[in-house]
Amino acid sequence: MTSIGTGYDLAVSTYSPDGRLFQVEYAEKAVDNSGTAIAIRTKDGVIIAVEKIVSTVLEIPGSSRRIFPIDHHIGFGSSGWVPDIKRLIGIARDEAWEHRKSYQMPIPPKMLADRVALYIQAYTLYSSLRPFGASPMMAGMHGDEPYLYLFETSGAYYGYWGCATGKAKQLAKTEIEKLDLSNLSTRDAVKEAARIIHTVHDDSKDRLFELEMSWVCKESEGKFTRVPQDLYNEAVEYAKHSNNDDMDDDEEL
């Protein structure tokens, strides 16, 4: 890597001669090292699926979740450095609540995205801070309209129909691109999301993982909740069936 040893990559307040902020790029590496997270937006909802890598059998299944509710109608899915993510989650919750308090109305997802992004960006300005090692995705509803945003470590964010971060983001993106997103039902999107996480999970590198799925959609009455257990099971069945050839059946904890 050309950046190493130049001295231009030690603080986020320093540009390299060709105009890059290496510390922001390094923070992105932390994201690339963590479990894959994907999100799919359909006509009436958004589904987030996360591959939570488990390092030991001693860890209790279902603990340390990586999908977080922010408000009743908004949630975050995440890949990256967990403590950093939690910090951002705290910020997002405060912003969402401040809006509710001031306007007696749920915050529009777009507005929340904007504020969280500004916060991430502020941590790319000073040598005394380091950028967040997190690239969270945000799912929310505004009325009947679903919204999905993905934040980058620089503080940039974009709206998506489908997005992926973490270890296998490239592979996951390719899989999402194959889907017919404008016609996919939200229930089918849940199944496809489960399949994609199972497909991109690398058994040889990380033996154990848990699939976490939450959604916000018409069926969940505009609330960001965990995918109902029966649908979750159905989706996992579907995922295993679809990946029969290249997957063993020991991914369930």
Partner 1 sequence: MNSTEILNLKNQDVTENGTYKHTLQPIVTGTSVLGLKYKDGIMLAADCIASYGSLARFRNVQRLHPVGKATILAGSGDMSDFQHVQNLLEGVMLQEHCFDDEQEIGTKSIYKILSNVMYSRRTKVDPLWNKFIVAGIENGESFLGYVDLYGTTYQSPVIATGFGSHIAIPILRKYAEPRASDLTEAEASEILDNCMRVLYYRDARSFNKIQKAKVTSAGIEITEPYSLSTNWDFAESIRGYGA
Partner 2 sequence: MFRNQYDNDASTWSPQGRIFQIEYATEAVKQGSAVVGLRSKTHAVLVAIKRSPNELASYQKKIIKIDKHMGIGIAGLTSDARVLSNFLRTQAMNYRMTYDRQLPIGRAMESLSTKAQENTQNYGGRPYGVGLLAIGKDSKGPHLFEFNPSAITPEYYAYSIGSRSQTARTYLEKSYEEFQDLPLNELIIHGLKALRDTLPQDKQLDVLNTSIAYIGDDSDFTLIDGEKTQTYLELLDSSMDAMEVE
Query: Is there binding between residue 77 and partner 1 (CB under 8 A)?
Result: no
For residues 185, 163, 79, 8, the Cα torsion angle rounded to the nearest 10 degrees is -170
Q: How far apart are CA 142 and CA 155, in angstroms?
A: 23
Note the Cα 5 to chain centre separation in Å. 32
Which of 20, 43, 87, 100 contacts partner 1 by CB under 8 A?
Answer: 100
Among 20, 43, 72, 115, binds partner 1 (CB under 8 A): 72
* CA distances, 65 to each of 48, 60, 213 (Å): 13, 11, 10
- The smaller minimum CB distance to partner 1, of residues 71 and 175, is found at 71
Q: What's the closest the beta carbon of residue 46 comes to partner 1, in angstroms?
A: 18
Q: Are 119 and 94 in contact (CB under 8 A)?
A: no
3-class DSSP state of 134: strand
Rounded least distance, CB 101 to partner 1, Å: 7
Helix (H) or strand (E) holding 102: helix 82-103
**Residue ranges that bind partner 2, judged by CB under 8 A:** 1, 3-5, 7, 9-11, 22-23, 26-33, 56-60, 63-64, 82-84, 86-87, 90, 123, 127-131, 133
Sole window of 33-41, 61-69, 148-156, 245-253 interacting with partner 1 (rule: CB under 8 A):
61-69
List of residues 6+ apart from 20 with CB closer than 8 A: 3
56 binds, among partner 1, partner 2, none (CB under 5 to 8 A by kind): partner 2
Residue 169 beta carbon to partner 1: minimum distance, rounded to whole angstroms:
26
Which does residue 105 touch among partner 1, partner 2, none (CB within 5 to 8 A, set by kind)? none
Give me the least distance between CB of 155 and partner 2, in Å please: 15
| Under rule CB under 8 A, residue 101 binds partner 1 | yes
CA distances from 243 to 69, 135, 179, 188, 239 (A): 30, 28, 16, 16, 6
Contact footprint for partner 1 (CB under 8 A): 65, 68-72, 93, 97, 100-101, 104
